[in-house]
Amino acid sequence: MITTPFTFPSFAKINWILRILGKRPDGYHEVVTVLQTISLKDELTIQLSEKGPIKLTCDDPAIPTDMHDNLVLKAVEFLMDGFQDYFGAEIELKKRIPAMGGLGGGSSNAAITLKAINKLWKGAYIDVEEFAPEDLGADVPFFLMGGRCAATGIGEVLRPLEDVPKQYLIVVTPNARVSTAKAYAALNAPSLTTFDDVSILSSSLADLNSADSRQWPLRNDFERVIFEIEPEIERVKNALLDAGAWGALLAGSGSSVFGVFDSDAARDRGLENLRCEAGWRVFPCETISRDEYVRAMNSSGIPLFTLS
């Protein structure tokens, strides 16, 4: 048994586009989206122990640490069902990605836990389809890849995309919160009868692959309803544009908004205009390519990814 503690980064994500196509009979929504890992991250420290309980601690008291409400523990529970013999573990989560911000923090935490615990217990490579059940979150498969990916279905059907040049970002999370369930309910998407995710994705990718990032068609179908529910979130978007971002977009189903800047210098100038806002958490960050993602995951003392 390996008893050395290992610390792994757990990166956030943004969506360059997020289109909601309609509601399926099972209650899930079909989407077309392009996801991107960014440098904003949590940290997970995992240390195995002899047979015993799985313990989770978190430096954010607002984050639940019980098996029913935390995706880290649900991920471990999922793995336990596949092992006859397993060790106990102490897991420490240092939280920086805002909860309920649309940045995929919980799904990222779950994905890295799946990778790390499976590696420590068995030393096997995680198969995305096998180890990413829908009840752990539709974004979990994406965080098992990183970089830039197109996703369809409920977000679990992934297509890795070529990385684009580094983009300089500011992510802002206001105090306003909108749950994902409330966001979907407000969207009131029609029942899914016919949809053409292939043509929507193809046309979106044609523009998103442009060398001129200013031509990218940033779009999020949640913006209309989220801005009506919480006008403060729309104010964040406008503030990012006023601070010099060439584009700004709601992250996932909110409540975070990200702005894209021409350079790190332009981003740094924009920070000065945003940090004076009371109640806003402001994070300068940048996009993370798939190669950078894999290198970060493999630099923790135990490689989580197989190098291609």
- Report the catalytic residues: 13, 139
* Cis amide prior to 49 (ω within 30 degrees): no
Which 8-state DSSP code applies to residue 191?
B
Q: DSSP letter string over 200-223?
A: HHHHHHHHHT-SSGGG---EETTH
Reference 208, options 221, 223, 219; nearest CA is 219
Three-class SS of residue 74?
helix
HSE-up (13 A, CA, CB side) for residue 128: 15
Q: Are 8 and 302 in contact (CB under 8 A)?
A: no
d(CA 75, CA 23): 27
Residue 38 DSSP SS3: strand
